[in-house]
Amino acid sequence: MSSTADLDWFKSSYSGTEGDNCVEVAATATAVHVRDSKDVSLPHFAVGRDGWARFVEYAAHG
């Protein structure tokens, strides 16, 4: 991946039509990248796919 512009970013279906207070994610073979949807020029972060899966599981049951 040469840049985040090459990634396919997806916004949560929970974000609504306004898009406020939301993040976007893009998955690659080894990581899930996360960025602020309000200002996509800000730096993003990435976590391993296993870490992301644990986070999602925790959030769903938390």
Alpha-carbon span 14 to 20, nearest angstrom: 10
Question: What does the pLDDT read at residue 2?
Answer: 44
For the chain, give the mean pLDDT. Answer: 86
- DSSP H or E segment with residue 46: strand 45-48
* Two structure tokens written together for 26: 């893009």
pLDDT band at residue 16 using 50, 70 and 90 as cut-offs: low
Q: What are phi and psi of 16, to 5 degrees?
A: 75, -175
From 29, 20, 10, 25, select the one nearest 55 (Cα to Cα): 25
pLDDT at 62: 72
